[in-house]
Amino acid sequence: NAGVTQTPKFRVLKTGQSMTLLCAQDMNHEYMYWYRQDPGMGLRLIHYSVGEGTTAKGEVPDGYNVSRLKKQNFLLGLESAAPSQTSVYFCASSLGGGGETQYFGPGTRLLVL
């Protein structure tokens, strides 16, 4: 049982390049989330999904897209990376939405030059 895993662990992009971050969970959780963590600001929700095939915007969705084609995977895409998207990205999942604990992946460190 690996829990929540994220790929890649670290990536450097040039401005304008695109990339996809992959999140996978093996806990059969319905809900999945993408957060970003910037210094001094805690974590902020980018997008989330309440089930396979569904996605919704969080607090800071601009510049990102997501897809949840399979229940166990939640993809975060950057179509045209900007230096402001330099951050640490965390994926999380929870069994449902009734206050269940969110379990986090190890994070992806992204640097956009």
Partner 1 sequence: AQKITQTQPGMFVQEKEAVTLDCTYDTSDQSYGLFWYKQPSSGEMIFLIYQGSYDEQNATEGRYSLNFQKARKSANLVISASQLGDSAMYFCAMREGVNDGEYGNKLVFGAGTILRVKS
Query: Which residues would be at the binding site for partner 1 (CB under 8 A)?
Result: 31, 33, 35, 40-45, 48, 50, 56, 58-59, 88, 90, 92, 94, 96-107
80/66 Cα distance (integer angstroms): 14
Q: Which residue, 17 or 43, has its beta carbon nearer to partner 1?
A: 43
| Percent helix / strand / coil, the chain, rounded to 5 | 5, 50, 50
Length of the chain: 113
Rounded to the nearest whole angstrom, what is the least distance from the CB of residue 80 to partner 1 in the complex? 26
Q: Which residue, 26 or 100, has its beta carbon nearer to partner 1?
A: 100
Ranges of H-type helices in the chain: none
Q: Which residue, 75 or 105, has its beta carbon nearer to partner 1?
A: 105
12/93 Cα distance (integer angstroms): 26
Rounded to the nearest whole angstrom, what is the least distance from the CB of residue 15 to partner 1 in the complex? 25
Q: Which residue, 69 or 99, has its beta carbon nearer to partner 1?
A: 99
Q: Which residues, at least 6 apart from 1, have a Cβ–Cβ distance to it below 8 Å?
A: 26, 27
Rounded to the nearest whole angstrom, what is the least distance from the CB of residue 84 to partner 1 in the complex? 19
